[in-house]
């Protein structure tokens, strides 16, 4: 009897754990499933993670510059994030003589730390469900636009009346596709200084080749420090500011991880779309991703051919190339993962079950009976508009620099004679200065001509300009935007300020410029023939998806749903777990420094290494950070787990059962990137830098061991 009961309890436990693991999830920190987390091994409580009334782990987590995540790891406001999150700041302080990207940077005391204009760190003070207030007065009779207007004005009113301190901010966001609303009180620190960064050969080791893949060997971290005014409150940069005293900072554990260990990741995931109908997943695999990938294939091939041949081009285009290839590689992995996990079929089965349940209740049947059918119809209508949208975005706006400049100039011409003109002009001068700094006219012309060919070929003809597109190499030769023709006596790529000095000259030159004219026609066709219909369909889809979400919450009341990511603070949890790609043997969950050395290619642009690290590996002196002793000592580098993460989770801490930092999240495995649309525990893994590697690099490689004195190391 006893045995049977135990067996039952165990198997029930197993079912609930595997269900959780199966589903992934990015949970609102005020609504954690504490018992499930404890079953999986967590020793702390949900209140230790999030408590608005007493110090808790959330007080150590900051949104970094509004994009990545970062965490406080000392009593003096020391802030840890990824190298690729601090990249812009590291780059901005770099010069030819002091190339911090190449050689790394380490402040040896507070006075050497470098201020970063515009960089912020935002903490979450409190989270509150305000759904009732926001949706009060919303009625079923409203059309989508009326509803949006109504909700918007409710949000404004409620935000204005929130009781908070003067130095705090408030925002309200929709969750569950607009079925719920949450209010966030935040504190944003504005003086965040660079403390340290390893050389790129460590911080971005493996670059694009290793990006989105496992096994991985990257020390993707950098260090900053938050400064506050003398009352410890947010303040603009000032020499008189002092290191911030956090309510809580994360202790760092060097006890190490092993397969099966409980971990959770706490951060700011950006965007996911986990509740799409099967047809949308199918379109993603068959048309949407192939279109985006096809466009970027062409751009990347042209860029990489020239980058390989010419060092100057490589330097100019390295970060643009990385940006374009990052999403390109992600989409390829996503399609592979969706296919391999039969996501469409699973979603269809889910819809069948949904309809079956809906049919059991008359009131469900009348409200939700046609949902799947309506969604299918709308997605079918939307497909050609979606494709046109993607081509405009990818081929005209994102991947051709010259076309993007032409779009800006069109915008400027449209503001001619209005009060906005001068302000807009100044903003464009600033962004063009940056753009032209790393611009190669011939290379971008080659990319742009290839992209416009694709545009002509693949955008449905009814969406193209009436008199066709006439862009060829002479359009580029005869344009001021490429710098090949002068404007106001100078080449725009050499002196934007002077080129734009005289409004009359500027306007008449732009109006007569062949590229501005051609792109203007493409834009006009897009604005007349694509975007109004596309926006209308998107609005209808938003409404249907909101109802579908509401229906799922009711119909599957036995299932726990997490809201899609929306750049707000979330907790995801999982276990340290290896991974088996289709055609390869299973990979262990941990990589080591000997694997870094195995990938080493002297002088290579992705796999070169600092000599010092090679020597350090040989000596096997890993101090307190390594695993094993003497000859058998190993230095852990990266590890993976089944935490459900996405873009924005970069820089998020991975914490252990006791709430200590054990890793720094920075990436996902390739096919696992489908987790933005469909999470599958057998494939989806997040990738983290092992905390021990971070400390080892700071202490032994950089000689900045003084920083460890302010941390709390758990041995």
Which residues in this chain contact ligand ARG in the complex, by CB under 6 A? 84, 204, 207-208, 211-212, 322, 326, 647, 650, 667
Tell me which of ligand ARG, ligand ASP, none is bound by residue 646, counting a contact when its beta carbon lies within the kind-specific cut-off of 5 to 8 angstroms.
Answer: ligand ASP
Length of the chain: 715
Rounded Cα distance between 40 and 36, Å, is: 6
Find, among 568, 645, 649, 654, the residue nearest to 126 by Cα: 568
Nearer CB in complex with ligand ARG: 36/667 = 667
Q: Should residue 650 be labelled a site residue for ligand ASP when binding is judged by CB under 6 A?
A: yes
Nearer CB in complex with ligand ARG: 446/676 = 676
Tell me which of ligand ASP, ligand ARG, none is bound by residue 199, counting a contact when its beta carbon lies within the kind-specific cut-off of 5 to 8 angstroms.
Answer: none
Nearer CB in complex with ligand ASP: 86/636 = 86
Tell me which of ligand ARG, ligand ASP, none is bound by residue 645, counting a contact when its beta carbon lies within the kind-specific cut-off of 5 to 8 angstroms.
Answer: ligand ASP
Tell me which of ligand ASP, ligand ARG, none is bound by residue 274, counting a contact when its beta carbon lies within the kind-specific cut-off of 5 to 8 angstroms.
Answer: none
Q: How far is the CB of 643 from ligand ASP (least distance, A)?
A: 10
Among 126, 667, 680, 690, binds ligand ASP (CB under 6 A): 667
Alpha carbon dihedral 693, 697, 699, 704, in 10-degree steps, equals: -140
Find, among 460, 469, 329, 332, the residue nearest to 387 by Cα: 460
Q: Are 104 and 199 in contact (CB under 8 A)?
A: yes
Pattern of binders to ligand ASP over 98-127, x per CB under 6 A?
------------------------------
Cα angle value 270/651/98 (rounded, 5°): 120
Decide if 139 is catalytic: no
Catalytic hit among 59, 220, 282, 564: 220
Q: Are 477 and 317 in contact (CB under 8 A)?
A: no
SS3 labels along 503-551? HHHHHHHHHCCHHHHHHHHHHHHHHHHHHHHHHHHHHHHHHHHHHHHHH
Contacts of 328 (CB under 8 A, 6+ apart): 292, 293, 296, 297, 300
Stretch that binds ligand ASP, among 149-157, 197-205, 279-287, 663-671 (CB under 6 A): 663-671
Tell me which of ligand ASP, ligand ARG, none is bound by residue 322, counting a contact when its beta carbon lies within the kind-specific cut-off of 5 to 8 angstroms.
Answer: ligand ARG
Q: How far is the CB of 267 from ligand ASP (least distance, A)?
A: 9
Q: Are 665 and 645 in contact (CB under 8 A)?
A: yes
Nearer CB in complex with ligand ASP: 101/664 = 664
Coil vs helix vs strand at 274: coil
How crowded is residue 558: how many other Cβ atoms within 10 Å of its Cβ? 5
367-398 in b/e form (b: 16+ CB < 10 A) is bbeebbebbeebbeebebbbbbbbbbebbbeb
Q: How far is the CB of 68 from ligand ARG (least distance, A)?
A: 9
Q: Should residue 267 be labelled a site residue for ligand ASP when binding is judged by CB under 6 A?
A: no
Q: Is 213 exposed, middle or buried (0-12, 13-18, 19+ CB in 10 A)?
A: middle
Stretch that binds ligand ASP, among 185-193, 450-458, 639-647, 705-713 (CB under 6 A): 639-647
Find, among 171, 67, 69, the residue nearest to 128 by Cα: 171
Q: DSSP string covering 335-363, please?
A: HHHHHHTTHHHHHHHHHHHHHHHHTTSHH
Tell me which of ligand ASP, ligand ARG, none is bound by residue 212, counting a contact when its beta carbon lies within the kind-specific cut-off of 5 to 8 angstroms.
Answer: ligand ARG
Q: How far is the CB of 332 from ligand ARG (least distance, A)?
A: 12
Contacts of 278 (CB under 8 A, 6+ apart): 344, 345, 347, 348, 350, 351
Among 520, 647, 653, 663, binds ligand ASP (CB under 6 A): 647
Decide if 132 is catalytic: no
Among 648, 653, 659, 663, binds ligand ASP (CB under 6 A): 648
Nearer CB in complex with ligand ARG: 262/328 = 328
Nearer CB in complex with ligand ASP: 475/646 = 646
Q: How far is the CB of 261 from ligand ARG (least distance, A)?
A: 23
Q: Is 131 exposed, middle or buried (0-12, 13-18, 19+ CB in 10 A)?
A: middle
Rounded Cα distance between 154 and 134, Å, is: 6
Tell me which of ligand ASP, ligand ARG, none is bound by residue 313, counting a contact when its beta carbon lies within the kind-specific cut-off of 5 to 8 angstroms.
Answer: none
Stretch that binds ligand ASP, among 419-427, 543-551, 608-616, 642-650 (CB under 6 A): 642-650
Nearer CB in complex with ligand ARG: 69/482 = 69
Q: How far is the CB of 79 from ligand ARG (least distance, A)?
A: 18
The residues with which 663 forms a beta bridge, in sequence order, are 654, 690
Tell me which of ligand ASP, ligand ARG, none is bound by residue 207, counting a contact when its beta carbon lies within the kind-specific cut-off of 5 to 8 angstroms.
Answer: ligand ARG
Find, among 594, 592, 614, the residue nearest to 199 by Cα: 614
Q: How far is the CB of 686 from ligand ASP (least distance, A)?
A: 6
Q: How many residues bind ligand ASP (CB under 6 A)?
A: 9
Q: Should residue 645 be labelled a site residue for ligand ASP when binding is judged by CB under 6 A?
A: yes
Catalytic hit among 84, 248, 644, 678: 84
Catalytic hit among 448, 650, 652, 675: 650
Reported in sequence order, the residue ranges of 421-477 that DSSP labels E, i.e. its strands, are none
Decide if 650 is catalytic: yes
Tell me which of ligand ASP, ligand ARG, none is bound by residue 266, counting a contact when its beta carbon lies within the kind-specific cut-off of 5 to 8 angstroms.
Answer: none
Q: How far is the CB of 647 from ligand ASP (least distance, A)?
A: 4
Strands 590-592 and 78-81: unpaired
Find, among 151, 264, 209, the residue nearest to 649 by Cα: 264
Q: Should residue 329 be labelled a site residue for ligand ASP when binding is judged by CB under 6 A?
A: no
Residue 24: how many CA atoms within 13 Å on its side-chain side? 29
Q: Should residue 649 be labelled a site residue for ligand ASP when binding is judged by CB under 6 A?
A: yes
Q: How far is the CB of 284 from ligand ARG (least distance, A)?
A: 18
Tell me which of ligand ARG, ligand ASP, none is bound by residue 51, counting a contact when its beta carbon lies within the kind-specific cut-off of 5 to 8 angstroms.
Answer: none
Tell me which of ligand ARG, ligand ASP, none is bound by residue 234, counting a contact when its beta carbon lies within the kind-specific cut-off of 5 to 8 angstroms.
Answer: none
Rounded Cα distance between 383 and 288, Å, is: 9
Q: Are 519 and 410 in contact (CB under 8 A)?
A: yes
Nearer CB in complex with ligand ASP: 568/650 = 650
Nearer CB in complex with ligand ARG: 482/673 = 673
Nearer CB in complex with ligand ARG: 39/304 = 304
Nearer CB in complex with ligand ASP: 70/547 = 70
Coil vs helix vs strand at 169: strand
Find, among 409, 602, 366, 631, the residue nearest to 500 by Cα: 409
Stretch that binds ligand ASP, among 475-483, 489-497, 647-655, 706-714 (CB under 6 A): 647-655
Strands 713-714 and 661-668: unpaired
Chain positions contacting ligand ASP, by CB under 6 A: 645-650, 666-668
Enzyme catalytic residues: 84, 220, 650
């Amino acid at each position: 009897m006893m045995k049977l009961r135990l067996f039952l309890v165990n198997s029930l436990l197993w079912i609930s754990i595997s269900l959780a693991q199966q589903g992934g999830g990015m949970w609102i920190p005020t609504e954690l499933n504490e018992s499930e987390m404890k079953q999986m091994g967590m020793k702390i409580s949900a209140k230790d993670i999030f408590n608005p009334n007493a110090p808790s782990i959330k007080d150590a987590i900051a949104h970094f510059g509004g994009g990545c995540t970062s965490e406080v790891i000392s009593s003096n406001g020391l802030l840890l994030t990824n190298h690729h999150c601090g990249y812009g700041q590291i780059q901005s302080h770099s010069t030819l003589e002091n190339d911090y990207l190449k050689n790394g940077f380490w402040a040896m005391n507070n006075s050497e730390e470098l201020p970063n204009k515009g960089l912020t760190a935002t903490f979450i003070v409190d989270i509150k469900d305000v759904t009732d207030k926001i949706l009060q007065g919303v009625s079923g009779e409203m059309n989508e636009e009326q509803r949006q207007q109504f909700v918007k004005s409710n949000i404004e009113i409620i935000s204005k009346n929130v009781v908070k301190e003067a130095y705090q901010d408030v925002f309200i966001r929709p969750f569950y596709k607009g079925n719920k609303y949450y209010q966030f009180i935040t504190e944003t620190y504005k003086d965040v200084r660079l403390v340290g960064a390893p050389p790129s050969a460590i911080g971005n080791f493996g670059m694009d080749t290793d990006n989105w893949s496992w096994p991985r060997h990257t020390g993707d971290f950098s260090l900053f420090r938050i400064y506050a005014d003398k009352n410890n409150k947010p303040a603009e940069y000032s020499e008189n500011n002092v290191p911030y005293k956090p309510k809580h900072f994360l202790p760092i554990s060097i006890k190490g991880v092993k397969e099966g260990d409980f971990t959770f990741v706490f951060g700011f995931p950006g965007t996911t779309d986990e509740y799409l109908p099967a047809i949308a997943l199918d379109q993603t695999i068959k048309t949407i991703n192939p279109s985006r990938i096809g466009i970027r294939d062409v751009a990347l091939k042209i860029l990489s051919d020239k980058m390989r041949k010419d060092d100057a081009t490589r330097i100019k285009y390295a970060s643009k190339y990385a940006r374009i290839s990052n999403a390109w590689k992600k989409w390829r992995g996503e399609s592979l993962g969706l296919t391999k996990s039969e996501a469409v079929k699973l979603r269809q089965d889910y819809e069948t079950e949904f309809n079956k349940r809906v049919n059991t209740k008359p009131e469900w049947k009348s409200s939700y009976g046609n949902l799947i059918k309506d969604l299918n119809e709308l997605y079918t209508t939307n497909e050609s508009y979606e494709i046109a949208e993607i081509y405009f975005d990818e081929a005209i706006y994102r991947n051709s620099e010259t076309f993007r400049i032409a779009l800006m100039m069109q915008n400027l011409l449209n503001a001619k004679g209005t009060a906005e003109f001068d302000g807009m002009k100044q903003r464009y001068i600033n962004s063009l200065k940056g753009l032209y700094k790393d611009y190669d006219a011939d290379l971008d012309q080659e990319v742009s001509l290839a992209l416009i060919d694709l545009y002509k070929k693949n955008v449905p003809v009814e969406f193209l300009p009436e008199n066709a597109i006439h862009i060829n190499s002479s359009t580029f030769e005869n344009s001021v935007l490429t710098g090949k023709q002068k404007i106001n006596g100078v080449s725009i790529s050499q002196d934007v300020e002077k080129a734009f000095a005289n409004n009359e000259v500027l306007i008449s030159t732009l109006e007569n410029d062949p590229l501005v004219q051609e792109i203007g026609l493409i834009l006009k066709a897009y604005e007349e023939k694509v975007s109004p219909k596309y926006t209308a369909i998107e609005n209808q889809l938003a409404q249907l998806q909101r109802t579908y979400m509401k229906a799922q919450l009711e119909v599957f009341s036995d299932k726990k749903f997490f809201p899609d990511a929306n750049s707000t603070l979330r907790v995801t949890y999982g276990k340290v777990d290896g991974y088996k790609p289709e055609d390869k043997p299973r990979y262990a969950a941990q990589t080591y420094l000997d694997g870094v050395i195995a990938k080493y290619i002297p002088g290579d642009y992705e796999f070169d290494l600092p000599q010092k690290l090679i020597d350090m590996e040989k000596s096997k002196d890993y101090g307190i950070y390594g695993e094993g002793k003497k000859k058998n000592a190993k230095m852990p580098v990266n590890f993976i787990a089944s935490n459900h993460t996405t873009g924005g989770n970069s820089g998020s801490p991975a914490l252990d059962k006791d709430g200590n930092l054990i890793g720094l999240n920075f990436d996902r495995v390739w096919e696992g990137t489908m987790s933005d649309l469909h999470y599958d525990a057998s494939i989806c893994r997040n990738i983290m830098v092992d905390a021990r590697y971070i400390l080892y690099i700071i202490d032994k490689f950089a000689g900045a061991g003084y920083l460890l004195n302010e941390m709390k190391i758990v041995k």
